[in-house]
Structure 1
Amino acid sequence: MKTGEWKSRFQKPWIIAGPCSAESEEQLLKTTKAVSALGVEVIRAGVWKPRTRPNSFEGIGLKALEWIQNIKKEVNVKFITEVASAQHVELALKHDLDMVWLGARTTVNPFTVQEIADALKGSYLPVLIKNPVNPDLALWMGAIERIANADLHEIGAIHRGFSSFRKSKYRNEPVWQIPIELKANFPHIPLICDPSHIGGNRDMIYDISQKALDMGYDGLMIETHPDPDNALSDSKQQITPERLDEIKGKLKIRQTTSDNVLFKTRLEELRNKIDSVDHDLIETLSIRMKLIEQIGEYKKKNNVTIFQLERWNEIIRTRPRWAEALDLRKDFIEEIYKQIHSESLRNQTEILNKQKP
């Protein structure tokens, strides 16, 4: 997949800011002028708002596109909005939008993504693609590939977090490993973090933003509104332009590497030690799985069910406790053992269903 180096046009970190929704021309102009004065080159503004339930504010639509056209004559900025259908694309192109993004609910549907890709073909419009609602890397990659196959090369990805059934401090769980894997597959496209949607709370925006930049993200998309508490959508996660300025000033921009010889030597030593420890970890896991296979055979011989609730409760109670005694986070170890347990059940299921030759 060919993608241009268009991200080099923007100063890193590339910050996109603006309201969740364009609510009035006055509100949009006020926000645009305020964030533009902070050096923000691209303004986000929701025109169509896909809502989970009906009877909520669903955006202004066509009228808001006309506001954007008027504002661009007055302020030298670019505008980006979400498109969720081929009709949205046609209207965005007609009203001179500079960029568009595909939302999480759109990315999850390959049919819709393909229709949008077909509508964009020949336009050369930059497209940013948000991760799908659920943690599915293949769907995210597929959406990027469909847009690329429409001869569009100015493509970026937006990480806005994933829905989860678990109780969490986040509105959408970041699941950082998925965007890292996406970056490994598509290293040349910009990766933008949307801390507003990940946190769902304006107080979390700085911490999430800093973590994203520390992990090598290319930019941030931050919802900004002149009066967040009275916003018509996502009021809790929007910030004022003044707060955006504070966050921009606090963010630390780190190098991807260092030319310091001592640093490189020491880093190599530590990585070699990690490689050795990882080898031991994998050997230990292999030994554990062989023991699981023996247990599976023993259960099959005695006609016993695979899943044993009491044993699982014992494991999930004791292992995190052991970890805490060694200064490891309880939640971290719980997640590891859930994955180990899932693989153990899979192995035992294969043994139970294996037919004698």
Structure 2
Amino acid sequence: MHNLNIQPITLPGLELKRPIIISGPCSAETEEQVMTTAKELAAQGVKIFRAGIWKPRTRPGAFEGVGTVGLPWLKRVKEETGMFVGVEVATAHHVYEAVKFGIDLVWIGARTSANPFAVQEVADAIKGMDIPVLIKNPVNPDLELWIGAIERINRAGITQIAAIHRGFSSYDQSEFRNHPQWQIPIELRRRIPELPIITDPSHIAGNRELLEEISQEAMDLNFDGLIIESHTCPDKAWSDAKQQITPVRLKEIIDNLVLRRPKIGDTPRVTLDELRKKIDLLDDQLLDLLKERMNISEAIGKYKYDNKITILQTRRYDEIMNNRRDRGSQRGLDEEFITRIFESIHEESIHRQNEIMNKATTKK
């Protein structure tokens, strides 16, 4: 648990109910594009408009946003639609410019949250202001770095804070642009239960076909909202065209969401408790089996030491992984899930054998 002062996000005159919906184009391109998209979103009932003004791109030459020239467009969105507006900030200059033009909320992007110096610069700039700050997870799957960014903003006196879960970069091939790794935001919720979590299906998916599925999973996990990129003409967007949708399609996704109860009612409680007891029993059995397996790993480590055999046996490791994946698939278990489990088991087994080797060597 962390000693943070987190208060609910409030916007004047707007009652924020779950799911909080934030939408708008990946990039503000032209004043006409911004206004058209905003008016279409407002017509669909969206109350919070987002647009990228400064865009950190992977390589130079890509469209990096229109910059400060786009902020008056967002001011016009507020005036003509009554929507609240938000932008991404990465430097002190961005913060000062955004506040000068009446931006209602800001978020810190994934590349910025990965750099404590950059987060601290934003924190120092925003100190003393009364504005909600949303913090995206770092590009890499590092929960402590994410929490560190949250702590830096909170220590600057900002209490209206939310986390944005936008997935994590991975070298592995996947259907996702950024793998969701749901266990990381789940652990964040466990550690800081009062912190709102908003999922970013657009950056997780990287394509519009997966948006509805990811949005529903976020709701099933009882997260608080969604930030989804929308554009009046997605296929002609200047950045991230494949992951943007029209405001009409956004409304369809929102309407299709099934919002399950966050708390368990009295009626199904007995059945659920019984199922949970079974899980507890099975978990105890799993732990006993893992302990027994590690005991055998230690015995193998002793044998390898006595017989001058190296710890890592690549052929045996490949054999285990291929065999366990196949056997897991035969039981209806996901191959990626089985791979992660046995990679962790193998890592711990190697660690145990290393300890055996080092102790034996030290005694000589």
Q: Which of 184, 195, 198 matches 2:201?
A: 195
Structure 2 distance, partners of 1:6, 1:168, is: 34
Aligned to 2:270: 265
Question: Aligned with 1:315: secondary structure?
Answer: helix
Trace 1:97-176 onto structure 2 (pairs within 5 A). Answer: 97-176=103-182
Trace 1:256-295 onto structure 2 (pairs within 5 A). Answer: 256-261=262-267, 263-295=268-300
User: Aligned pair count?
Assistant: 356
Structure 1 distance, partners of 2:354, 2:170, is: 27
Aligned to 1:5: 8
Structure 1 distance, partners of 2:8, 2:250, is: 27
Question: How far does residue 257 in structure 1 lie from its aligned partner after superposition?
Answer: 2.3
The TM-score, its normalising length taken from structure 1, stands at: 0.97
Structure 2 distance, partners of 1:269, 1:337, is: 29
Q: Which of 217, 223, 246 matches 1:217?
A: 223
The one-letter code sitting in structure 1 at the alignment partner of 2:340 is: E
Question: How far does residue 148 in structure 1 lie from its aligned partner after superposition?
Answer: 0.4
Question: How far does residue 258 in structure 1 lie from its aligned partner after superposition?
Answer: 3.5
Question: Aligned with 1:6: secondary structure?
Answer: coil
> What RMSD over aligned residues (CA atoms) do the two structures have, in Å?
1.2
- The answer to whether residue 29 in structure 2 is matched with residue 26 in structure 1 is no
Structure 1 distance, partners of 2:78, 2:331, is: 57
Residues 61-106 of structure 1 deviation map (CA, whole Å, 9 limit, x = unaligned): 0110111112211110111100001111111111110000000000
Name stretches of at least 5 consecutive residues in structure 2 with no aligned partner. none
- The answer to whether residue 183 in structure 2 is matched with residue 180 in structure 1 is no
The answer (yes or no) to whether the contact 2:123–2:156 under 8 Å persists in 1 is yes
Name stretches of at least 5 consecutive residues in structure 1 with no aligned partner. none
Aligned to 2:246: 240
- The answer to whether residue 82 in structure 2 is matched with residue 76 in structure 1 is yes
Question: How far does residue 326 in structure 1 lie from its aligned partner after superposition?
Answer: 2.1
The one-letter code sitting in structure 1 at the alignment partner of 2:363 is: K
Structure 1 distance, partners of 2:70, 2:120, is: 26
The one-letter code sitting in structure 2 at the alignment partner of 1:76 is: G
Residues 327-350 of structure 1 deviation map (CA, whole Å, 9 limit, x = unaligned): 222221111101111111111122
Residues 183-241 of structure 1 deviation map (CA, whole Å, 9 limit, x = unaligned): 11111121000000000001110000001100111000000001111100000000011
Residues 262-306 of structure 1 deviation map (CA, whole Å, 9 limit, x = unaligned): x10111111011101100100000000010011111111222111
Aligned to 1:356: 363
Aligned to 1:330: 335
The answer (yes or no) to whether the contact 2:44–2:248 under 8 Å persists in 1 is no
Q: Which of 21, 43, 54 matches 1:48?
A: 54
Structure 1 distance, partners of 2:279, 2:269, is: 15
The answer (yes or no) to whether the contact 2:9–2:132 under 8 Å persists in 1 is no
- The answer to whether residue 318 in structure 2 is matched with residue 313 in structure 1 is yes
Structure 1 distance, partners of 2:225, 2:77, is: 24
Structure 2 distance, partners of 1:259, 1:242, is: 35
Aligned to 2:235: 229
The TM-score, its normalising length taken from structure 2, stands at: 0.96
Question: How far does residue 46 in structure 1 lie from its aligned partner after superposition?
Answer: 0.2
